[in-house]
A and B are shown apart, each in its own frame.
Chain A
């Protein structure tokens, strides 16, 4: 096992070393004079601090201002960032990264291994109070739980600068996908002197010092973020876009209007409008898989309703939902019907043969009625349940459709709409029967989904506690090939049905025709301005 692991790791290192990076402009391409890219943000950026940010939108900006050990290419494969490659010890617990010697901060100072050490310790340090501190635990970095709890000083964290260009990280469990996790913004380096001199103001435009391909020149909260090309970036000679602008537009329809008025180069398409836009603007409307799954979580725990403790009822509810109607009639943006938990496009994942996925909806309905009757529910003893969802037009539409579908098998679903915080609070206190839930993968690997339903995950709000499931997930961590374990886990979920999978997300965007280099095949949609360019029309 160890040998294979080592081989796999060195293969990864090789593949990293040989990947191309930066904008690869085909020869003979006429570039536009103005290399500005303007994209849409739904909400104001909450923080420009890599260790404080918690949002996807924030990460989109951070990836341009900072650079971590590895980046992703358009297909989601790792390519070198500050690290050029790495070695893994035989036991799979020690990673040694070689850092490039030409990486610089935007103030001209060299980027060294110490900057990573400082950033990672800062993420775990209770004094920073980062909402993403748990990411260090997720990465299994040595002593992370103790440092976060304040039981050990941050310098006991398992990360060491061997020299300026050699970084050593020690983890406690072998994680085959550990390098993939390094693409995450919370692991980006920050410059200690700048952070300490400026306190919370260090992320202000003009003060912020980053090591990414761009520097921050303007940040008006809720209005815009402007980034300009950073000439000290190690690959700035191959960076084509000179300016990246993010406009905050809180209304998605308004965003679309402004896109159509050429004020933006990229915007999300509101639900239901994709078919029309695809017909009208076939070159601009695109739908790509996106690493999130949408489910109804069932409360099978102590505080949940009696009926949901019966697996027959849970299965009946799941079978009765016609996912095709949700994706084809409501969302209409290339999302896919879900019969399992992990997003179908996650790297290295293949859905096992889940029986009910292959049935027709008629068959599912027949089975659902049978199961419900067996469980003792019917016209004389109707089943009444509540479904709660957070405020959103789409959630509402799907919930209404679901309640109609369940009515078909004699289940009365009462819909409860709560604002986001109340919804979340109720879920975390097990005050729900069924609740809308979605999960977006932290990295491009199935465990980011499947770990959630272990009894020890902390996110398992429906309290589905299953020893067999826990064991399968534990075993997957040390397996040569975790896929069979992941498939086994999915089969347990389909057999026990603690959740009703509804659909797998898609990114549904309008993208200006002259923009090149946005990832089309990366399930995390990790994009980098440095890989993009604008062609002459």
Chain B
């Protein structure tokens, strides 16, 4: 297992390098640059800016300098647009915010989704099952950019219970977490339900029941673990999806998270921020895929690395 983990981590390095090079080239291929503005800059001013940010070097040199700074100093450079800040500062401010509501949403989605799925499967074809399926399909077709304004309308404007945006304390976390977790929760509930239904028809469950085990032990000890396998394979991409999909939360709830910074950096051609966040997202994706694969081996004895 350790060798496997190390091998996977070793492969991650060239993957990230490839990601850097491809993103860098794609980014520079897009028309316009960080200093393209409605008021075209005088050539001399533009030249001064390009010189300051090293954009007058040939592309290969820019890539090498960039990778060198990242590898040796963990220095992602200054933002081209938010000029008072470095990329490290922008990530340091935005990422903890995104991570906070991302992890909370993840926890809510998993706990609620799995519970709902199990309940629906166990009480198959009951009113509870129909309700759970109804709720999860409803939640899934309601995208977060529709959810978010509705939540603010109801809980901020009509009821006045919660702040409509900002990031000043736990009461500010609730609406973003609900908006972000709902559709993931719905998917997890549906996957858990169908997987659980399948597991419940298998022989080892019949055996467990035949032994006279109480139903809750059958479900929790014998059915849950195999039923969770498909859920777990969904969780890796889901977590990354939550972090990268956080742009909607950032826009509607003004959290100051990294998602909005990422989208803005692409639109503003803020090359440095775009690269920094891309690398961060890439590393997260690689890391969570590894975690999922390891979790697989832990749950499923048939899988050994």
Contact = CB atoms under 8 A, between A and B. Distances in A.
A428 interface: yes
Interface residues of A, number: 55
Interface stretch (A84-92, A250-258, A525-533): A250-258
Given A257-B152, A257-B164, A428-B40, A422 B31 contact: yes
A514 interface: no
A49 B83 contact: yes
Interface in B227-276: 250-252, 254-257, 260-261, 264, 267-269
A221 B156 contact: no
A127 B250 CA distance: 35
A441 to B, nearest CB: 12
Contact of A224 (B83, B166, B251, B252): B166
A263 B163 contact: yes
A421 interface: yes
A223 B254 contact: yes
A131 B45 contact: yes
Contact of B160 (A261, A422, A425): A261
B42 A137 contact: yes
A458 B44 CA distance: 12
Contact of B45 (A148, A200, A222, A260): A148
A204 interface: yes
B48 A253 contact: no
B40 A459 contact: yes
A74 to B, nearest CB: 28
A204 to B, nearest CB: 7
Contacts of B256: 44, 220-224, 248
B252 A251 contact: yes
Nearest to A457: B40
A203 B153 CA distance: 36
Contact of A48 (B32, B84, B160, B255): B84
Contacts of B269: 421
Contact of A223 (B48, B51, B255): B255
A263 B201 CA distance: 55
A134 interface: yes
B82 interface: yes
B257 to A, nearest CB: 8
Given A131-B49, A133-B45, A424-B32, A247 B267 contact: no
B32 A421 contact: yes
Nearest to A260: B157
B68 interface: no
B31 A148 contact: no
Contact of A258 (B41, B42, B156, B267): B156
Nearest to A204: B84
A172 B233 CA distance: 70
Given A257-B164, A258-B165, A421 B40 contact: no
A422 B267 CA distance: 9
Interface string B14-53: 0000000000000000111101111111101100110111
A248 B36 contact: no
Contacts of A133: 42, 45, 48
A51 to B, nearest CB: 10
A162 interface: no
Interface in A175-197: none
Contact of B157 (A150, A223, A257): A257
B102 interface: no
Interface string A409-443: 00000000001111011101000000001110000
B127 to A, nearest CB: 36
A148 B39 contact: no
B37 A131 contact: yes
Contact of A134 (B31, B41, B261): B41
B85 interface: yes
Given A221-B93, A424-B38, A458-B40, 8 more contacts: A44-B82, A44-B256, A48-B84, A131-B45, A148-B48, A254-B148, A424-B37, A438-B38
Interface of B: 30-33, 35-42, 44-45, 48-49, 51-53, 78, 81-86, 90, 93-94, 148-149, 152-153, 156-157, 160, 163-167, 250-252, 254-257, 260-261, 264, 267-269
Considering the complex of A and B, which 4 residue pairs feature the smallest CB-CB distances, nearest first?
A421-B32, A223-B256, A425-B32, A129-B52
